[in-house]
Amino acid sequence: MPSYSSNKQPRPWTSYIWDTWDKPAAERRFLLKLDACLLTYAALSYFSKYLDQQNITNAYVSGMQEDLGLHGNQLNYITTAWTCGYVIGQIPSNMLITRIRPSIWIPAMEVLWSMLTMVLASAKNFETLVAVRFLVGLAESTFYPAIQYVIGSWYKGDELGKRACIFHTASALGPMFSGFLQTGAYNGLNGVYGLAGWKWLFIIDGIITVPIALLGFLIMPDLPSNTQPSILYSKEQIDIGKRRMAEIGRKPPAPFTRKKILGFFTTWHIYTLVPLYILFNNGNGPANSMIFWLKSFNTPGHQVYTVGQINTYPLGIQAVQVVTTLCYAWWSDIVRARWPPMIFAGTWSMITCIVLAATPLYEHITRRWIFYYFTGVAGGLSGLILAWANELTGHDNEKRSFIVASCNMWAYVMQAWLPIVIFPQVEQPRVFKGNVATACINFAMMCFAMATYFLSRRDDRKARKLRASTPASEASEEIVLEDEGEADIKKAQVLQVDEASDADLPTLDRRHVAHVA
């Protein structure tokens, strides 16, 4: 059966607006249902997760610091405790999800997460906060890399960027809503039933999450290989999902073997994609400084900004992130390349950090305000990087799951200590060295994006040579391929590909060569 991506006819302009509009009716109906179920649940759940992540900072500046006697860098340590839990659980969870149904594992852990979040309201001291935040992070570790892996199990290259980024926009909408929620909780619930406003913030967050988790049990899809026919998906629609992934060479789960596990580390993917994601994830530190900058205007006996204003004015950062994330997603899918938005966002972010480092805190207030908002321009690259990881490692399902989890895990390993070093709380909001360091991080991120691009193009060239030297009738035969820079001889299977021009082929989802574990 021919691939839909092999159609040489010009794409209708409507497909650039939404990629399902040029597909056959049955496939379009299936994708509409898949989008409605998977993206709705993923976005709502991620919204509640980021609502909590932002809430800890909002609670700190809205009374938690004074009520619990917190001081110095203790907010950083509380955040680090969450990060440690988040880091520990990611790879084990993503390996398990290749064997356990995602529709059970992910919502179950979300129920546990919501209960732990509400427990935060009962914290009486710094030690309790640290312990509970660690457990919250451990429960949350199952979510983001797992969802990105599941999204990568259903969508093709010209669809994946938009879905991954639409899902990721919830990470910006959560903090936006958190600011308004904290303002409402502080003004409307502060003192109700003897609870401070910041405690109500965690209670509300947990209450919001419970019905979202229950919804996940009902509508969250599994993988194409283990989704069963149901009221949501017919056998014919599941077969469409399987066929679509077969067309692009994205493999279903396979048994773990020693050779397979060693294969995670013998190709270049882990050595460029993981550093790329680490640098992205730690490249927007100045965004957290605006809330401290606004609070610094207030002095004993003189208030410039109220608690509500301190919590809501920085929401422009998330608004910028939402807009730029969606622009990057459509741009990337239309040109069928992931790296251009990364270079654009990295350059913009680097300039922003340089300006923040070079300008005085309390001169040119409007300019500094605007550049604080610009710190959100690179925040939406997560979806594109993990979409790229899903595409480049699609020939090995377990490797794909491992790389996606490793990207997120190692990013947060760095985040566990790097902010304390370059953005110490006692230096807020000036943090000169933090702004300079972040400019350098963004430059390094762009370098790794280009390294990933050039290595993927190298693989493309090797695949073309294999196609050219292999008769069409033998296109599915196994041949021996020696990878550059590798001592071992690996088997590869050359998949039959369309004879469309390079302009018609997704650069990111090449099906030329799939390594056989």
Q: For 62-79, what is each residue's pLDDT tens digit?
A: 778 888 888 887 887 888
Domain of residue 315 covers 257-464
Please state which of the ranges 53-62, 120-129, 215-224, 340-349 shows the lowest mean pLDDT. Answer: 53-62
Q: What is the pLDDT, as a whole number, of residue 179? A: 62
Same-domain status, 81 and 28: yes
Task: Give the pLDDT band (50/70/90) at residue 485.
Answer: very low
Same-domain status, 249 and 280: no
Q: Cα(first)–Cα(last) distance of the chain, in Å? A: 26
Asked if the model's pLDDT at residue 508 lies above 60, the reply is no
- Whole-number Å distance between alpha carbons of 145 and 91: 9
For residue 231, tell me if it sits in a domain: no
Instruction: Name the more confident of 172 and 69.
Output: 69
For residue 10, tell me if it sits in a domain: no
- Whole-number Å distance between alpha carbons of 234 and 231: 7
Mean pLDDT of 228-244: 92
For residue 492, tell me if it sits in a domain: no
Q: What is the pLDDT, as a whole number, of residue 514? A: 40
Please state which of the ranges 85-89, 194-198, 218-222 shows the lowest mean pLDDT. Answer: 194-198
Same-domain status, 270 and 208: no
Same-domain status, 248 and 265: no
Same-domain status, 215 and 354: no
The per-residue pLDDT for range 15-46, each reduced to its tens digit, is 788 888 889 999 999 999 999 999 999 988 98
**The token pair that represents 334 in the structure block:** 């239309």
Other CB atoms closer than 10 Å to residue 482's CB: what's the count? Answer: 12
Residues 43/278/59/184 CA torsion (nearest 10 deg) = -30
Same-domain status, 79 and 214: yes
Same-domain status, 60 and 164: yes
Same-domain status, 241 and 269: no
Please count the structural domains in the chain.
2
For residue 497, tell me if it sits in a domain: no
Same-domain status, 165 and 201: yes
For residue 123, tell me if it sits in a domain: yes
For residue 514, tell me if it sits in a domain: no
Same-domain status, 204 and 263: no
Same-domain status, 82 and 193: yes
Q: What's the CATH number where 57 sits?
A: 1.20.1250.20
- Whole-number Å distance between alpha carbons of 403 and 471: 34
Of 360, 320, 55, 12, which is closest to residue 182 (Cα–Cα)?
55
**159 residue type, one letter:** E
For residue 512, tell me if it sits in a domain: no
For residue 502, tell me if it sits in a domain: no
pTM of the prediction?
0.83
Backbone angles phi, psi at 190, to 5 degrees: -60, 115
Strand partners, 302: 299
Same-domain status, 245 and 266: no
